Structures are given as structure tokens and as C-alpha cells.
Structure 1
Amino acid sequence: MRPTDPTVAAVVREQTGLAWSRARDLCTEGRVTVNGERCLDSALRVPPGAVVIVDERAPKLRSGALPESAIAFFDRDVVVVDKPAGLLSVAYEPGDKDTLADCTRALLRRMGGRRFEPRVGVVHRLDKDTSGLMVFARTLDAKRILEIQFRAHDIERVYHAIAHGAVAAERVETHLITDRGDGIRGSYGHFRRPRAGIPPEAKRSVTHVRPIAALAGATLVECRLETGRQHQIRIHLSELGHPLVGERVYIRDYAGPKIESPRPMLHARVLGFVHPRTGQRMSFEREAPEDFRAMIESLRLADG
């Protein structure tokens, strides 16, 4: 997507002649699709060739509603969900609502009927603006066993990201701290020269980075987590000199040309774990959402 591309609201207004406010409402009500996928973000920019369809008679999307297609797998023990960008994983503060956990409970209740008990136990999180796969536990035993797997780093987690510049393959190992010296998270010793040994609160963090495709001013990369710390991929790519396209926090040290994006271009594509009851190894994969794919296409067009 380019800054000159029209927003979804602008395309809707051009097609329908409606006021700006109504055009934006149609998006939030779930009555607009872009290339066949429901688009709730009226500010999303529409790349050339994209097909935007407005259906004012389509059922209104309830607040926080998830489509059944968001469920990658569920049984009596676990549920695997494809999280949309812009949705909190769980509540962080009193009053937070319509989180992915809330929406998953509501969807399971709709799918299972009134007598169905949609238990959802949190075992990990994704950032609000990150899309992709998450797993919730549906029993206390499943929650306990999955938490053990996460602590032991036995979970398969592969992300796709769009990062600034030409990214090379690299294994990144650092120790992450909550304040690198200027108020934000980072790797110990990266921002300021260390004066002593690694502090006990620092957490060992390993990311395997592999370039997939060169784009105009950016690279589509695969990031495979060996550990899973908060903001690990965002920090490691930034410290390599290749912050995410759309990054807002870990980009202050980057002096190169910036590619604009409404959100950090990060998608949790693959999630694998051992089923807590059966012991079977399970792996799930979901393609990145429309805005991520549109960004790749626009940068390929710019490169051509």
C-alpha cells in the first residue's frame, strides 16, 4: 500500500455517494469486503486492482464478533484461533472488553448452543496489532500442560514479517530487559555499554531470521522463535537495523527511509504444540490477512 492509495472509506463513498460517517460505519458494521474478505478498518488503503464490494443489506457484525472461520481447531481441551490485528488478546486493564478471549468464548457459545460451556484459559499473548494464531486452554489440566510447554520453549512459533531494508539470514541471541536505558525494552548492552555482567532479570532470547523475498525498500522475512519474550521479534529486527514496517516504538534508532503502514507488519503464521491430553504433536498454519498481503503486493509493484 502506498500513501497515495485511497482508503476503504473513500472507495465506499465513491461507489455509494454516502457521507463519510456512513461509509466508515459500513466498514465497522462488517458490510464491506476487500478482495472477498470483510474489512473493518475504514482507514486501510486499497492497492490498485483490489475489489471492494459494499453490501448494505449484509447482517451487521456484532461488536467483537468473530467468524467461525477464525477457529483453526477446537476440541474439549484446546481451541486455536486466528486473531485479527487490532484486537487485544486478553484484558490488561479493568474495562477492557471485546478481547480475543471474550470473542472466542462468544463464538464457541454460538457454535455449541446455550448449554455449551465455552471455557477459555489464557496461556500466551499476541500484541494487539499482531495478527495470527493463538491457542487457549479449555480445561485446567490443558492450561497447566500448555503453560509447561511454553515455559520450556517447546512450542513451535513461526512469524512472517515485513522489515525495512535488505535482511540477511541470522540467528539472534540476546538478553532482553524491560528498560535498555531510555525507557523502552531492548537487549542488554545494545543501547548502552554494559558496566557489569548480565543482570538476573534479563531474559535469554533467540530468534532465527530468514529472508523470504526482497521487496522495494523492505524484505519479507520468516522469524522462528526459539524463545518467546514480549516484543522479541520487534526488538531483534530493530537491533539488526531492520525495524518492522509500521513499527512505532522500536524504530527511533533507524535513520533510513520509512515505509508507512497502519500497523506493524507482523503475523503469527505457524503454531505447533503437543496436545495436552492425547500427546499428539499438532501444527497449524494460517495465511496473513489482507492488509499484510496488500503491503507485500504494493512493495512488489514498487520494486518492478
Structure 2
Amino acid sequence: MQHPQQDQNSTPANEAEAISRQSDCLVGQEHREGIRIDLFLAQTWPEHSRAFYQRCLSEHRVLVNDEHCRRADKVWPDDHVVIFWPPEKDTKLVAEDIPLDIIMEDEHVIVLNKPPGLVVHPAQGNMTGTLVHGLLHHDEEAFENMSDNTQRPGIVHRLDKDTSGVLVVAKNLQARAYLKDAFKEQVTEKTYLAIVIGCPDEPVGLIENKIGRHPVNRLKMAVVEEQGKLATTRYRVLASANGCSLLEVRILTGRTHQIRVHFSHLKHPVLGDALYGGCPKDLPCPAPRQMLHAWKLTFPHPANGVMRQYMAPLPEDFQQTLAALGLPAIGMRPKPLNPPVPPLANDDETDE
């Protein structure tokens, strides 16, 4: 097998620790046509991502038949694979006092209105200041009990950092398992409001195709012909003005960046979405971020299976953008009506 040039220091930095934390296996006969080593590792030890194993390969932590290999190399039946696991990092979450806009909370779930700019859970580049850290501060006992190495206690679905709106979080392991199944089986309903550039040709439409990683820009997703996952989006045009349209969008699947990718593919990107072409020089109205808001969420409650719907009012930046474009203020929280004050009873009136 071909392998990269290396010196004696290219083996794991702490050899004693690496040897004490290693795993090995033989490649099975089901891979008679060969399989990429990074894919084989991800299938054999699925607790980590394929990207994790690619990093292990680049750090020379994987041996195949006692030789280092590259991530594009293939392994074959009866090849002996050894991986030296990297040292475990301290993944303990620390509670942070982050304000939460709570729509509803009980002993099973908490429904929130996530503001734009808030990351849902820790990830590379955002290890602090996330919604998860705020949840730990809000109810440390509940979310500490669900903490694991994924650093996503209670999280059953996500919203992008700059997408605002309604989000449900589980407060115990049983609720988390129940809601994960509900999202997986598509018994939930997720409805968004989006401001897009231009106006789709059809006032009501269905977008259905495959979404996968962009072939060039790995930060983006894209509509692809092969090796993607089916994504289905329904939309309805609510209003159009000044070169933009307000859409009601319902996603039947939950692919990464699904709405942003689909409308960029239609040449009507979400206004303010720099990653997918929503910030042209001739913008009809400057937008501080992508104008996408998770408006309604319907899900079966873990306690009894009864369908519940919750709505998140529009944040101020979305309202301001609608007003600047002359679009209707749909999704606003109605102002409370002051009930009439009943007249005071006359002193001479008596109860019957």
C-alpha cells in the first residue's frame, strides 16, 4: 500500500497513551470490491464522524497491515486495521447566563423563540455562548442528566445560527427519544416565513430534489444529482413588493440549509443570505442577516401524543425589513385588547 513520507515522530504524540487506547479489526468479506478506509472506519465505529477519522488518518493514527495510509486508500477483505484513538478532550459543559425567550415549558419539554445570532449547540468555532449553555443555566439538573460527549443535551432539531424562531427542546431522556423519533418519522410540521429576492413563477409550489455537500465550497450545501438526501419543500407566496416576496414555507424533510439551498436553486435566494447569493449589490433593502424565521412548529407532546402547535412572533429585524419593503406584517403578535371596565355597582344594589 502506498503511504506518505513520514519521520519517526509521525506516530501518535503520546505513544504510551495511544497504545493503551487502540482498537483493531479485520475487514470483512462483504467488502470484496474494496472500500475507502475513512468510510470503513466510520461504518465500523459509528460513534464518530467520517471527518473525525479523516483527521485520525492525517495524524497517522491508523495502520493497515502495519502501514500508514491515506484517507483515499481502499481496504480489502482480511486487511488488518488498527486505530490509535486520540486523547479525549474535556467536553464538560459549563452553564452560562444566556437570556431565553420561553414560549412554553413543562416537565417534559421547553419551547423557545430562538433569536438570530444564537448557535444552538457547541461546535468547532462556537464552543461557548450557545443555547445549550443557556439551557444548563436555566435548569442545570435536567440538562446535566442528559449531557454526553455530543454536547447536545435535549436537542432534537436545530435552527441555523442566523435563523430565528420556534424550537422545541426535550427535558428528559424519554422525551428526547420520543421527539427524535417524531422528527425522524416526519410527524412534526415546520412552517417558516422567508423573504426572498424576486418572486417565484408559481404562487404555490413544491420543490423536491436531492441535497448534498457542495462539490467545491465545503461550507455550502447544494442540489445534487447523486449521493444526496431527498429534500421536500412546499411554499406559498403571501405578498410581493419592491423586488422581494414574503413566503410561507413548510419543509417536509430537515436537510441542512434546506430552505436556503432550495430557493437559491430557484434563483430566488433568501434576502440577506450571503452564503447562497442573497446579498447582491443592487439589494432592494439591506438585511442584517438571512430573512428566515421558524414561525410555527407542531409536534406530538411526549407525555400523551397530543399534537401541539406553537408560534414564534417575528423578531424586530424581520419586522423592520418587511416594513421597509412594503410587505405585510404577517406573523406578528397581536396587541392585547383592553377589556371594558365593568361599571361600579350602585351602593343601593343588593345581591339576590
TM-score by length of 2: 0.58
Distance 1:104 1:75, change over 3 A: same
Asked whether the 8 Å contact 2:264–2:277 carries over to 1, the reply is yes
Aligned to 2:311: 285
Asked whether the 8 Å contact 1:215–1:296 carries over to 2, the reply is no
**What pairs up with 1:1-304 in 2 under 5 angstroms?**
65-67=98-100, 70-93=101-124, 96-108=127-139, 117-118=142-143, 120-167=153-200, 168-183=203-218, 184-189=220-225, 198-199=226-227, 202-251=228-277, 257-258=282-283, 259-300=285-326
**Matched AA of 1:295:** T
Q: What is the root-mean-square deviation of aligned Cα atoms in Å?
A: 2.2
Distance 1:266 1:140, change over 3 A: same
Q: Structure 1: which 5+ runs fail to align?
A: 1-62, 110-115, 190-197
| Deviation of the 1:95 alpha carbon | 6.1
| Deviation of the 1:102 alpha carbon | 1.7
Distance 1:94 1:185, change over 3 A: closer
SS in 2 for 1:287: coil
CA distance in 2 between partners of 1:256 and 1:221 (Å): 22
Asked whether the 8 Å contact 2:288–2:317 carries over to 1, the reply is no
Asked whether the 8 Å contact 2:143–2:154 carries over to 1, the reply is no
CA distance in 1 between partners of 2:125 and 2:208 (Å): 36
**Matched AA of 1:257:** D
Q: How far does the alpha carbon of each residue in 1:242-268 deviate from its partner, in whole angstroms, 9 at most, with x for none?
A: 00110111118x978334212000000
SS in 1 for 2:209: strand
CA distance in 1 between partners of 2:164 and 2:312 (Å): 10
Q: How far does the alpha carbon of each residue in 1:169-221 deviate from its partner, in whole angstroms, 9 at most, with x for none?
A: 210001001124554311114xxxxxxxx33xx11000001111112110011
| Deviation of the 1:117 alpha carbon | 4.0
**Matched AA of 1:214:** S
The percent of aligned pairs where both chains have the same amino acid is: 33
CA distance in 2 between partners of 1:178 and 1:266 (Å): 21
| Larger RCO (CA within 8 A; separation ≥ 6) | 1
Asked whether the 8 Å contact 2:272–2:287 carries over to 1, the reply is yes
Distance 1:180 1:152, change over 3 A: farther
Instruction: Decide which moves more: 93-102 or 208-217.
Output: 93-102
Distance 1:64 1:186, change over 3 A: farther
Aligned to 2:46: none
Q: How far does the alpha carbon of each residue in 1:50-76 deviate from its partner, in whole angstroms, 9 at most, with x for none?
A: xxxxxxxxxxxxx75315xx1111111
- Number of equivalent positions: 220
Asked whether the 8 Å contact 1:85–1:129 carries over to 2, the reply is yes
TM-score by length of 1: 0.67
Q: Structure 2: which 5+ runs fail to align?
A: 1-95, 145-152, 328-352
Instruction: Decide which moves more: 100-109 or 150-159.
Output: 100-109
Asked whether the 8 Å contact 2:98–2:133 carries over to 1, the reply is no
**Which protein has the larger Cα radius of gyration, Structure 1 or Structure 2?**
2
